[in-house]
Structure 1
Amino acid sequence: MRRPLSTEPTGTSSDDSETEADKTKREFWESVAEEVSSRSDTSLGPVSSGSSYHRDQPTPLQDSIIRLSINTQKRQISVHLLIRDDWSLFDHLEDDAEAIEAELGTEIEWVPPDRTNSSKERCKVRLTRPINLDERTDWGEAVKWIVDRGEQFHAVFDDRLAAY
């Protein structure tokens, strides 16, 4: 005879704490939220804390977002324009890659749906940089980078998406 489900062990106890990766992500997003809220003229919306690997920012086009991400396994942060189910929009933007990269001041990675690791039809335009997760004192530059690049992505892509 089994005991009632409500008394079954859950595999975690109430004194288990968050994983180190979750703590890192939460602290990183707290730092990003502080940086965003300190800027009076930012194009980024509020950034919540928490242990998720990404924070999404709306764009003028419903099927696209600007995603700020941290990957604790690869030890990198990134800013993406994520386009859902629209190859033609990706192609349209990629045709303007030279001008877009000139406005951003750097080359970016153009990832068509057949090169993503998603089962969904998604395209990405991505900029990535490494982060030293062990040295919280080094995070200031990384936090500034992700906020600056998020704002740049809005400046470069929002008008193009609105006009599409």
Structure 2
Amino acid sequence: MIRDDAEAYRELIEQSQQIESEFDRELTWNEPEETRSGKKRSRIVVTKSADVTDQDQWDEYLDWMVEHGEKFHEVFYDRIQQL
């Protein structure tokens, strides 16, 4: 996670098409917003529709979260290190 760095977000969003291509999924790019402490925070999100009350699906949901967490690391780690 990059905290309080709107410029880093801008550099990543310039690569958004390539990033989403590598991620093989559309991501949600939330522009930097001011927090209560006056800092700028942004988010890059991947989502899945799910019924969290359906306990029979929890293993599937957990697998999805692990898979996509690993994918975030794979796609973003080197880019973030270069910022």
- After TM superposition, the score normalised by the length of structure 1 is 0.46
Identical pairs, percent: 32
Unaligned runs of 5+ in 1: 1-64, 66-82
**Please, which runs of 5 or more residues in structure 2 have no aligned partner?**
none
Match for residue 102 of structure 1? 21
Higher share in helix: 2
Calculate the aligned-residue CA RMSD, in Å.
1.4
Q: Deviations over 1:41-81 (max 9, x none)?
A: xxxxxxxxxxxxxxxxxxxxxxxx2xxxxxxxxxxxxxxxx
Q: CA deviation at 1:95?
A: 0.1
Which of 92, 106, 113 is residue 11 of structure 2 equivalent to?
92
Greater strand share, structure number: 1
Q: Give the alignment partner of residue 62 of structure 2, picking from 130, 133, 143.
A: 143
Q: Which has the higher contact order (CA 8 A, sep 6+)?
A: 2
- Match of 1:128, SS state, is coil
Residue 139 of structure 1: CA displacement? 1.2
Letter in 2 for 1:154: H
Normalised by the length of structure 2, the TM-score is 0.88
The aligned counterpart of 2:74 is 155
Please state how far the C-alpha of 1:151 moved relative to its aligned partner: 0.1
Of structures 1 and 2, the larger Rg is shown by 1
Alignment size in residue pairs:
81
CA shift, 1:145, in A, is 0.6
